[in-house]
Amino acid sequence: NEIDMRRFAGSMLQQFQQQARAKQITLFTEATDEPIILYASLNHLTVVFRNVLDNALKYTPEGGSVTWSISSGVEGVTSILEDTGLGIESENLPHLFERFFRVDKARSRQVPGTGLGLALVQSIVSAYGGSISIESEGLHHGTTVTIFWPYGEACEQAEIT
Ligand code: ATP
Ligand code: MG
């Protein structure tokens, strides 16, 4: 399917605005005025961005902020999602994409989750030939999730495992 990434981001934000307001988190977006067109399954795109937005809001305490910027390059779209939340210690960064992995089970106990979100996100993104990377300066220093998604064409048949 042909997807206008700016419109898609707008509808995602609308869906998450309530969750953000409930926690007094400010949700910012930055994108170009030009339409950004992707060829992808709307379902796949939705699963990916719903998971990373959900994480940013879940792991950011009240009063924080989440900034989502989308830019178009030669081969695809780069999405950078930056939060001011809990952050992730460097020793945990290599494990984020493992199924059922959650940082510090005790700490995460107050925040519900299964630890499957990012594993699924990574399989979808790589099925499209894209990439995801997660950076953090450490505990309480926030987290930045960068996703590169190629413009693609007829990628719907991409196998998701
Ligand atoms: P699920 O997404 O299945 O509901 P989950 O959010 O725990 O559960 P993932 O989305 O795979 O699972 O994330 C794995 C772990 O990475 C989380 O449990 C959390 O510890 C850490 N994490 C992910 N995103 C962030 C973030 N933005 N800030 C801080 N920690 C994060
Ligand atoms: Mg999650």
pLDDT grade, residue 160 (50/70/90)?
Answer: low
Residue-wise pLDDT tens digits, 26-54 = 999 999 888 999 999 999 999 999 999 99
Residue 108 Cβ inside 6 Å of ligand 1? The answer reads yes
Q: Tell me the C-alpha distance between 78 and 150, whole Å.
A: 9
Residue 157 binned pLDDT confidence (cut-offs 50, 70, 90): low
Q: What is the model's pLDDT at position 106? A: 55
* 85 vs 83: CA distance, rounded Å: 5
| Rounded average pLDDT over 102-129 | 90
> How far from chain centre, in Å, is Cα 99?
17
pLDDT at 158 (0 to 100): 54
The mean pLDDT value of the chain amounts to: 92
Q: What ipTM was estimated for this complex?
A: 0.99
> CA separation (Å) from 58 to 62, 113, 123, 126, 156?
10, 9, 22, 24, 30
- Considering every ligand atom, which ligand is closest to the CA of 120? 1
pLDDT tens digits, 100-111? 999 987 576 788
Give 34 Cα–ligand 2 centroid separation in angstroms. Answer: 30
Residue 137 has pLDDT above 80, yes or no: yes
**Of the residues 118, 121, 140, 145, which should be mutated to test ligand 1's pocket, given the most ligand atoms within 8 Å of the CB?**
118
